Each structure stands twice: as structure tokens, then as C-alpha cells.
Amino acid sequence: MIAEAGLAALWLAAGLAALQFVLMIAALRAKQDVGRAIRSVAVVQGALTLVAFAMLLWVFARTDLSVALVAANSHSAKPFVYKIAGAWGNHEGSMLLWVTVLSVAGAFFAWLSRRTSGRTLVAALGAQAALALGFYAFLLTASNPFARLSPAPAEGRGLNPLLQDPGLAFHPPTLYLGYVGLSVAFSLAVGAMLTGEVDSKLARAMRPWVLAAWIFLTLGITAGSYWAYYELGWGGWWFWDPVENASLMPWLAATALLHSINVLAARGALKAWTMMLAVIAFSMSMVGTFLVRSGVLTSVHAFAIDPARGTFLLALLAIYVGAAFILFALRTASFREGAPFELVSREAGLVVNNLLLSVILGVVFVGTLYPLFAEALTGEKLSVGAPYFNSVAGPLALLLATLIGIGPLLAWRRSKRPIGKRLTVPALLAASALVTTIILAPRMGPLPRLGLTVAAWLAAASILPLTGRNPLRAPLATWGMVLAHFGIAVALAGMAANAAFTSEKLAVARPGETLAVGPWLVQLQGVNPTAGPNWTATEADLRATRGEGLLTLKPQNRYFTDPPTETNEAAIATVWNGQLYTVVGRPDGNGGWQIRLWWKPFVTLIWLGGGLIGLGGVIALLGHVWLRRRSGRTWGRRGYA
């Protein structure tokens, strides 16, 4: 009954979404005031999808094997946490989570957005309902998560062990909150283009949503990167895998939107540009969903291959993106001109930021989708990997990071004060970083060397907006911006240090033998069998030392029986200046074991930086919400001061 209740809740929610859309049409055509009705419908619709999702969690928690999805993806012997997380570790469950987040975001938007103009709110809620309708149709016709299996099997098929990890419980829901949170920005942009109310008020209504979605995307990408780093056992933190790019593309678009929205909020300029970005940001979320959920690309993450579903998702993508672009083309000429600005001004700086982010987005987009097009058009099979992305997007990102140091120092409209003097310290720091690396590490690659230089520059330059006044009186949004920009410098330093200074050792060791990697001496004590709830493993016992202190690391090779799979579990020791990363391989047949060691100086800065960027977003969001509560009128002009 539980599964049927979930399905019924989904059908009801779909019906309400249809009603919501009809109400919007009625309001726009007949000028009816449906504000209260449409809000209630949106809230109830969100609640119903929550019910459906709770039902799915329930059947997974109980391991109800008469539900096809549970039978295919769960197992009674699985640890409870992974039974729950398994609910969204598969195609249907994750699509249900997607739709749930979409409707719940719509519900919160309907509930909280008292300040949006009435007509735009109604139009935006209608657009949100139109989005939800397509995905309800997808769920109910092509990926029903509640389908029954008769007769019920005696045991489930289990969950892919790679996904049996704490990272799974946290990572996809976080990313989805980010992906789908952008739907509100999309709907608001569509709504505002329908009603013609594209102004700074709209930007202020949109900003908290974009900021919140962006925070989740940032944290989700950071967590996903760390998950891939320790779970895949390759020692890399970013693989330019299509699935990773699928989360990076919405982030790039949302980052651009986050900056242009400030121009619209503070100065009423960049109207068409901001609307375009709002449409593109959520389009990228849908592209990402399509790439991941249709399994069209070669990818270590693509667990589902099903062309029928892919076609459905592609059709949805084409309809929504196409409709939004047509609306944009029809309405863009009617936007009133924005406030003018000079070539050297905060606005111009943000335009440059947006252009660079757009170029990077375009480069990543083309690189990710090119193999698809090439195969469809010429039948040729090819893959685009790290060499392409690093060499094309890398220099652009470094240029952007350099300019981040300058942009926030410019004044709105027209910057008259010379800023060269304020940048002396960052410039000196950058120069000394460059000289130091040339002297100490003459053979370092150009990208890591420039990376360290730019990181030193940005670390100093990013805090300048807080200097020259009492930093405690600076708005929270400024603190958030400074922290996020500083986080970019930290992450960049980690990436460059990892690329430049990683040392690696791959060898066979017998128990008692010692291997050297970087400053470390690692001794293999022995290799022992061990077992977990639903796996057995061979576990190496490694003792690592560098002068004083002793670290114990226990990398494993795990063997799962349901389904039969092996995974490599790396053991990682974190010290203040980096991580020692150890993997055990196979026996060589003569009493030795393959051991792979990496010493990765300062690699932890990558994720620390990601965390700081997200934290900066949280502080800015608090600032915006708090300021709005306190003084609704003066808030817009202060913006990202």
C-alpha cells in the first residue's frame, strides 16, 4: 500500500501542477487575481511530492522487495544508512528526488516571496508548474519508482558498492538542491519576461534563490570532488568526466548570474543579459540531468543506459530551453535601457567577469558534448579529457582569478580613484611567489607556476575591499564576497601545489619492506583479511613516518558479494601540509603486494578553498536576507558594496 500511496501522491501533484499552469494562463489572459489560489496550489503540490518521496524512503527502509526498484537496487543485508541512501542511488529514485526538490523549491518560493510583484509571481509560479509537469510526465510514464514486481524476489540485487559510501548520502541531494534551486531563477526570469517587469526589484527577489542554489552547487561539487578522490583510488581530484562537467556547467552559469544580478539589483543595468543567464543556468542543470540520467556518454559515473528515457529527457530539454529562448527573443527589445556606465567601473568589471565565465562555460560545454555530436554525425568515436580542458579552460580561469583581485575595488558607474596603489602589496607578493618558484622549482610546469603566482596575488587582493574602512562596519555581503574570493585563492594554491609537488611511488613490497615517497618512509607490516557487514577485504597494514611520529594506514581491497564486485579503498593520512595517499593492489604471487603511494603537499587546500567559497555564499545570503528584513528600501543600493 505504501508504494501505491506514493504513486497516488505523485499523480495528485501532477494534477495540481496542471491546475497551477491553467491558473497562470487565466491570470495573464483575463487579468484575474489568482495570487492566493496559485500560491496555495504550489505549496500543496510541494507537500505531495514530499509525501511521495517519504514513501519511497519507507519502502527502501523496509526493503520491500515487491517494489521493483528496491529489488533491483537494495539488499536486506545492507547497512541501514545505505538502504536509505540507496533510494536515490538509482535512476528512478534520483529523478523522484529531482522532481521533489523542484516542487518543494516552488512551494517555498510561493510561500516566502511576498515582495515579488503579484503578476510576476503568478507568471513565475506558472512557469515553475510547467517545468514540474514535464518531469512528472517523465516519472509517471518512463521511470515510475513505485512499480511493483510480481512475484517478489526472495532477495534484492544490491547496490553498486562504489555508491556504498557516506559521500553518497550527502553528495547527490546537495547537488540536486543546487541544480533545481536554479529553476526558481529560470521561472522568475520567464515570469518577468511574460509580464515585462524586468527591473531591480526582480533582481532582488531572484538573488537569494540564485545564491542559495549556488551555495549548494559549490558544496556539492567540492564534496563530489573529495568523494571521487578517495573512493576511486586514482589520487586525482577532478577527472573532467562528463558527469563532473555536468555539475560544473550550471555552477559556472550560476556564478556569472550571481554577479550580473548584482548589477541589475544595484544599478538596473544588464537586464537582457541577466535574464539570458537565468535561462542558461537552469538549462545547464537540465543538460546535466540529461547527460547523467540518459547515460549517453562514456563515463565512470554513468550507471544507467536507457535510450528511451534519454529521448524523453532530451525532448523536455528542447521544449523548455526552446520556449524560454523564443520568449527571450520576442521580449528582449522591450526591456527599457539600463543605467549607463563607463568603461572603467564596477559594472564593466562584472561584464568582463561574465564574459570570461561564459567563455569557460562554452569551452567546457563544447568539450563535453563534442564526442556526442561527432559520433552522431560522423560515426567517429573519440573522447575529450583533461589535456583539452586543462590547456583551454585553465589559462582562462587563471586570467579570471587575476581580475577577481581588481574588480571589487572599482566604483559603480565610473571609477575615478586610481586603484594601482592599493594593489602594490598583492603585486609584490605575486612577484615574490613567481621568483621563489623559479629558484626553488625550476622545472615546474607553466600552469602550476602561474597558479601559485595568481593564488598569492588573489589571496592578498581579495581582502582589500575590507581595508581602508572599519571592516566591522562593512556589510555582511562584502564579507561574504571577500571570503569567497579568498577561497578561490586557497583552492587555486592547493591545485597548483598538488600538480607541481606530488610525488608518487609504485612498487611491490613484502611484509617488513620499506618504501620511500617524498619525505615519508612507509613500511608494510603485513596484509591481513578483514570483513565488514556485507564485504570481505584484504587489508594492508602500513606504518608511515617522516622523522618523528608514526601514522598507521590501512588501505583495503574489498570484495562485495551482492552484487559481486571489488573496490579499492584508499587509506589517506592528513597532516598539516598535505596528505599521504595509499592504495594496496594485488599480490605478486611471491609474497609481495603492489603498493601505490602518493605524497600530495597542500592538496587539502583544494577542498578547504571550496568550503570557504561556499561559506562566503552563506554569509552573503545571511547579509541579503537580514538587510532585507531590516530595511527594504535602502538595501538594493548597497548591493555588493
Instruction: Give the footprint of other proteins on this chain (CB under 8 A).
Output: 160, 162, 270, 273, 295-298, 300, 302-305, 337-338, 340-343, 351, 355, 358-363, 366-367, 370-371, 380-385, 387-388, 391-392, 396, 506-508, 557, 563, 565-568, 583, 585-586, 588-589, 592, 594, 596
Q: How far is the CB of 29 from other proteins (least distance, A)?
A: 31
Tally of CB atoms within 10 A around 600:
25
CB 83 within 8 A of CB 60: yes
Burial of 307 (0-12, 13-18, 19+ CB in 10 A): exposed
The least distance separating other proteins from the CB of residue 160, rounded to whole angstroms, comes to 5
Q: Comparing C-alpha atoms, which of 132, 118, 227, 214 is closest to residue 172? A: 227
Please, which residue, 143 or 478, has the CB nearer to other proteins?
A: 143
3-state SS of 48-97 is HHHHHHHHHHHHHHCCCCCEHHHHHHCCCCCCHHHHHHHHHCCHHHHHHH
Q: Is 252 left (phi over 0), alpha (psi -120 to 50) or beta?
A: alpha
Nearer to other proteins, 109 or 581 (CB): 581
Of 378 and 470, which CB lies nearer to other proteins in the complex structure? 378
Q: 212 or 406, CB closer to other proteins?
A: 406
Q: Which is nearer to other proteins, 371 or 609 (CB)?
A: 371
CB atoms within 10 A of CB 49: 30
- Closest separation between CB of residue 329 and other proteins, Å? 13
CB of 64 to other proteins, least distance (A): 22
At its nearest, how many Å lie between other proteins and the CB of residue 338?
7
Nearest alpha-carbon partner for 227 in 217, 241, 240, 237: 237
Min CB(40)–other proteins separation in Å: 40
Residue bearing cell 506558472: 126
Q: Toward other proteins, which CB reaches closer, 313 or 620?
A: 313
Taking the least distance from each CB to other proteins, the nearer of 88 and 136 is 88
- Compute the least distance from the CB of residue 404 to other proteins, in Å: 18
* C-beta atoms surrounding 66 within 10 Å: 14
Measure the CA dihedral 172/175/177/180, to 10°: -110
User: HSE of 113 in the Cβ direction (CA atoms, 13 Å)?
Assistant: 34
User: How near is the Cβ of 506 to other proteins at its closest, in Å?
Assistant: 5
Burial 397-436 (b: 16+ CB within 10 A, else e): bbbbbbebbbbbbbebbebeeebeebbeebeebbeebbee
Which CB atom, from 53 or from 365, has the smaller least distance to other proteins?
A: 365
